[in-house]
A and B are shown apart, each in its own frame.
Chain A
Amino acid sequence: MTAAHATKRSSIFSHLIDTGAHQKMLAFASLILLLVGFSIASPNFMQVSNMLAILQATSVNGVLAIAATLVIITGGIDLSVGTLMTFCAVIAGVILTKAGLPLPLGLIGAIGAGALCGLISGTLVAKAKIPPFIATLGMMLVLKGLSLVISGTRPIYFNDTPGFDQIARGSLIGEIFPAFPVPNGVLILFIIAGSAAYILSRTVLGRYTFALGSNEEAVRLSGVNTQSWKMGIYALAGGICGVAGILIASRLNSAQPALGLGYELEAIAAVVIGGTSLAGGRGTIMGTLIGALIMAVLTNGLRVLSVAQEWQTVVTGVIIILAVYADMVRKSKTG
């Protein structure tokens, strides 16, 4: 049994290093190319304030994309990440503004609500055997509706909670290096990314995440309780959406109950550009992070170049297709 585990683990790891490193390099090269291209095209692009704006724009989508990555590696999909984020923001609003409780409780409440909703999605997928697409589509709508109900369809503002807007807008780095005030939201994105990468590569939960995506039946037959592990992963992803909820609420200094629909697709786009396979079993957090950065750089760069908005959308779509196509071609050649 232990021997079987060991070989399984090593094969998963070699697989990871093999494809992951390549993909990361490719995505990273694309990112650099975009940055260089935009810098040449516009003198206004490569400024500290604009780079910070790009990082700030990446923070929420990046955190959501990390949550989506975890689920996608198991061979599932999570369509509820966007509205779950909103739901968690609303929960924070209820705890902090409506109930007037202290800040830490609001943060714990938001992340806890996220994890709980993730656990529900996970239960629907693992125990009730509802296909992930459908289960999370349902959750997406339930959460969108609940956000509106709980908030009374009005934005909840955090003016009574001093310091709340500093969670994403403030800059701890800026206090040490005043020349480069990286917003805290970006710092939080990197912390979440680091933690998620650690979980995926160094923990049992991480190993099972990949194993479930590669061959769930084999994992189950080897005596692993696949249902519990899967539920655990969905709950973890939900908790991460809770962090995204705090970030967006802090950035807007309000919980906007109508927001969230459509954000799941951008998160999934970032995951896919980063080289994670929608078929499951393969993917890296680093790739997703770069994918999210590519999306943000592209959107910002096209705006700074004053490209007409209708063409911005076309270009973004083309880049997503090219990125995934290039990855597929490369895989079919090597594999």
Chain B
Amino acid sequence: MFTRRSLITAVAATAILAGTSFASAADKMYIPLVSKGFQHQFWQAVKAGADKAAGEFGVEITFEGPDNETMVDRQIDMLAAALAKKPTAIGFAALDSQAAIPLLRQAKEAGIPVIAFDSGVDSDIPLATASTDNVAAAALAADKMAELIGGKGKVAVVAHDQTSRTGIDRRDGFLNQIKAKHPGIEVVTVQYGGGDHLKSTELTKAILTANPDLKGIFGTNEGSAIGVANGVQEMGKKDLTIIGYDSGKAQKEAIRSGLMAGAITQNPVGIGYETVKAALEASKGKSVPAAIDTGFYFYDASNIDNPEIAAVLYD
């Protein structure tokens, strides 16, 4: 039986070798991106931007991220593997900056430039950060909400997370703007659905049950926004203003159908593109700006098909 097992393993190992030998054959500049996620459409759009830059500048990239945003140690392992490949530069979006510091120091000692992206890295090692100004973007959502509900009434927030930088910034950006600029509006509750569609749906239904006179809900990421739309639909509510965040097929359709009033979109493609571009420039010794604002937009049924907006939306 030993031979059979060895055979199976040998076949597996050969398959691995055959499948990847071309990867090591090319001796191009190599920039791995270690992301906070991988499966969500948002991250795939960041990857698409990185791929675009890779094609344009003739560098090789890889894009990896843990299954969910709690797996801090898995991300550290990914960073370690990326360093082992002796890359030209590294793009990194930290789940927890502190946890990554020993490896970032290692990169610095090896002279590998680090470019932070998305929520950035809380350290002075990264030379630049390519990200959305989430506080300003959520404040824009608050202004749009106020405009749409006529400046007064009750609203709620369904947020994706209370520990991550983006979760905190979007929540506080929205809440602070309401408090500062729109005194007629009361935020009755902030609930956290982990960005999970189903959980956010249930949360929304509970919020609506508790507050039948609610005027609007802000969902802070793709999963939260879709959950809010689902919940409102399941409850059969009509005159409610929903503002979402990011895009994706379901959210775009909800906006086209009028179920959702509109959403903030970041520029994920731009985040990926700018990260690779900055990494390449830093590796050549050029100076890069410390903060690269990749921008954000508010879109609704009226401008969803504008070329400028359509370019940053993803399905």
Contacts and interface: CB of A to CB of B under 8 A. Distances in A.
Interface of A: 25-26, 29-30, 33-34, 36-38, 40-45, 47, 49-50, 53, 56-57, 60, 153-155, 157, 169, 248, 251-254, 256-262, 299-309, 311, 315, 318-319, 322, 326, 329-330, 333-334
A177 B68 CA distance: 37
Interface string B18-42: 0111011000000010000010000
B67 interface: yes
Interface stretch (B75-83, B141-149, B222-230): B75-83
Contact of B99 (A253, A299, A333): A253
Contacts of B17: 37, 40-41
A29 B96 contact: no
A304 B98 contact: no
A53 B85 CA distance: 12
Interface stretch (B1-9, B174-182, B210-218): B1-9
Interface string B114-127: 00000000000000
Pick the most buried of B2, B60, B77: most chain A CB atoms within 10 A of its CB: B77
B interface SS class: helix
Contacts of A30: 5, 9
A259 B67 CA distance: 12
Query: What 10 A-B pairs come out closest when comparing CB atoms?
Result: A37-B13, A303-B81, A53-B80, A252-B99, A330-B1, A50-B84, A258-B70, A326-B5, A305-B20, A57-B77
A270 B195 CA distance: 30
A303 B65 CA distance: 11
A86 B162 CA distance: 18
B85 A29 contact: no
Nearest to A61: B73
Contacts of B71: 259, 262
Interface residues of B, number: 48
A262 B67 contact: yes
29 contacts: A26-B5, A33-B9, A37-B13, A37-B16, A41-B17, A41-B20, A42-B85, A44-B84, A53-B77, A56-B77, A153-B162, A155-B163, A252-B73, A252-B98, A253-B99, A257-B163, A259-B70, A262-B68, A300-B80, A300-B84, A304-B84, A305-B20, A305-B23, A306-B62, A318-B12, A322-B8, A322-B12, A326-B1, A330-B5
B211 to A, nearest CB: 23
B72 interface: yes
A82 to B, nearest CB: 11
Interface string B167-204: 00000000000000000000000000000000000000
B64 interface: yes
Nearest to B18: A41
Interface in B87-129: 96, 98-99, 101-102
B16 A41 contact: yes
A284 to B, nearest CB: 17
A318 B4 CA distance: 16
B231 to A, nearest CB: 22
Contact of A45 (B78, B82, B84): B84
Nearest to A312: B64
